[in-house]
């Protein structure tokens, strides 16, 4: 790793770049630049990068973590939405020949095309300090869209990281927990205080690694139905699952029938969604799907 005195992770160098380009932080893009080398090193280490890896970095900012990624990986594709950062990145990363900067909204990027162009069709690894206002849409787009990504190692708001990793019966457990865990194994790597950023955010942060499942942990007949049941369960969190699912449009089954299916699944008729594991939601979904087919 290069000498920290010459890298952007040195706060002095970050301030110099910001002043030189008269850069103004944009609230609408949720910009908070990392200025702690220990945190950046931990993120890169947790991503388990090798010289065979192609990395997709979302929101490189002024290129602070990008420098570390370029040292560790074969290729880095840095996607930045703020046009004012593009000339800065062109300067701060000019010493590296394995970085491609793309000025675009990550939610509009054809990741499959990037994988074919830069990584011979093999899955990439995502590493990023994500803007907090759009964390969930970005992560769910990568997971639900079946993007060619093997792992996602990202800095997010601590509250969101806790929700992704949460288990049944906890206050943080919800639809996001189940959606993430359906596609990947989440692991919180580190908690990060506000003083590790410039400017300082008002909330705590955490680094979380999502390792994509090679085989889905549950067998589901109708994925759409599974997630409709999950959303219904947590949209009306205080209601029993019978009432929450029974009031949901698109699920044509009576509350008495739902109650019977719950009992057949070994669950209480008064159980709430927050008590069910992913496996139990999958079984409930499969039984509901089979029941609906049988009544058609």
113 and 208 within one domain:
yes
Reply yes or no on whether the pLDDT at 119 is more than 90.
yes
**Which of 212, 238, 264 corresponds to the end of one domain?**
212
Rounded Cα gap, residues 205 and 43, in angstroms: 13
* Average pLDDT across the chain, whole number: 92
205 and 289 within one domain:
no
Can you give the CATH number for the domain in which 124 is found? 3.40.50.150
* 114 falls within a domain: yes
* Furthest-apart CA atoms within the chain: distance in Å: 70
pTM of the model: 0.91
Percent of the chain whose predicted confidence (pLDDT) is above 70: 97
Q: What is the mean pLDDT of residues 55-68?
A: 96
pLDDT given for residue 6 in this prediction: 53
165 and 43 within one domain:
yes
pLDDT given for residue 80 in this prediction: 97
Per-residue pLDDT band at 295 (split at 50, 70, 90): low
Residue keyed to tokens 């288990």: 167
46 and 148 within one domain:
yes
Rounded Cα gap, residues 236 and 189, in angstroms: 31
pLDDT given for residue 293 in this prediction: 76
**Would you call 74 helix, strand, or coil by DSSP?**
coil
- Give the count of domains, the chain: 2
229 and 83 within one domain:
no
pLDDT given for residue 238 in this prediction: 82
Reply yes or no on whether the pLDDT at 263 is more than 70.
yes
Backbone angles phi, psi at 94, to 5 degrees: -65, -20
Ranges of H-type helices in the chain = 11-20, 37-46, 64-72, 86-92, 111-119, 135-144, 158-165, 175-183, 223-235, 241-246, 255-264, 278-295
pLDDT given for residue 25 in this prediction: 86
pLDDT given for residue 28 in this prediction: 79
124 and 55 within one domain:
yes
Residue 279, both tokens: 């496996």
Reply yes or no on whether the pLDDT at 3 is more than 70.
no
Per-residue pLDDT band at 96 (split at 50, 70, 90): very high
Per-residue pLDDT band at 160 (split at 50, 70, 90): very high
* 218 falls within a domain: no
**pLDDT tens digits, residue range 161-197?**
999 999 999 999 999 999 999 999 999 999 999 999 9
Q: What is the mean pLDDT of residues 122-144?
A: 94
231 and 100 within one domain:
no
**pLDDT tens digits, residue range 221-253?**
999 999 999 999 998 778 899 998 887 777 778
* CA-atom Rg of the chain in angstroms: 22
**Which of 212, 232, 249 corresponds to the end of one domain?**
212
180 and 87 within one domain:
yes
**Which of 187, 212, 237 corresponds to the end of one domain?**
212
235 and 118 within one domain:
no
115 and 16 within one domain:
yes
Per-residue pLDDT band at 78 (split at 50, 70, 90): very high
pLDDT given for residue 253 in this prediction: 83
Q: What is the span of the domain harbouring residue 160?
A: 4-212
* 81 falls within a domain: yes
250 versus 35: the higher-pLDDT residue is 35
Can you give the CATH number for the domain in which 266 is found? 1.10.8.100
């Amino acid at each position: 790793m290069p000498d920290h005195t010459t890298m952007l992770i040195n706060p002095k160098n970050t301030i110099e770049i910001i002043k030189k380009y008269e850069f103004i932080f944009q609230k609408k893009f949720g910009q908070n630049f990392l200025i702690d080398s220990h945190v950046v090193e931990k993120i890169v280490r947790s991503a388990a990068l090798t010289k065979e890896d192609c990395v997709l970095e979302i929101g490189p900012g002024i290129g602070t973590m990008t420098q570390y990624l370029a040292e560790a990986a074969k290729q880095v594709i840095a996607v930045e939405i703020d046009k004012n950062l593009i000339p800065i990145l062109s300067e701060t990363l000019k010493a590296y020949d394995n970085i491609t900067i793309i000025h675009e909204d990550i939610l509009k990027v054809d990741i499959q095309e990037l994988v074919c162009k830069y990584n011979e069709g093999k899955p990439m690894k995502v590493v990023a300090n994500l803007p907090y206002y759009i964390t969930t849409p970005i992560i769910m787009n990568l997971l639900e869209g079946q993007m060619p990504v093997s792992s996602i190692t990202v800095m997010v708001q601590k509250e969101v990281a806790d929700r992704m990793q949460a288990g049944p019966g906890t206050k943080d457990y919800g639809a996001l927990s189940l959606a993430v865990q359906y596609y990947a194994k989440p692991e919180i790597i580190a908690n990060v205080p506000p003083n590790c950023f410039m400017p300082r955010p008002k909330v705590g942060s955490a680094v979380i690694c999502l390792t994509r499942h090679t085989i889905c942990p549950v067998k589901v007949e109708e994925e759409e139905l599974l997630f409709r049941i999950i959303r219904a369960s947590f949209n009306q969190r205080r209601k029993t699952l019978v009432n929450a699912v029974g009031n949901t449009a698109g699920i044509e089954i009576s509350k008495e029938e739902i109650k019977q299916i719950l009992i057949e699944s070994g669950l209480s008729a008064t159980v709430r969604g927050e008590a069910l594991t992913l496996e139990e939601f999958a079984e409930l979904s499969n039984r509901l799907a089979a029941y609906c087919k049988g009544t058609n």
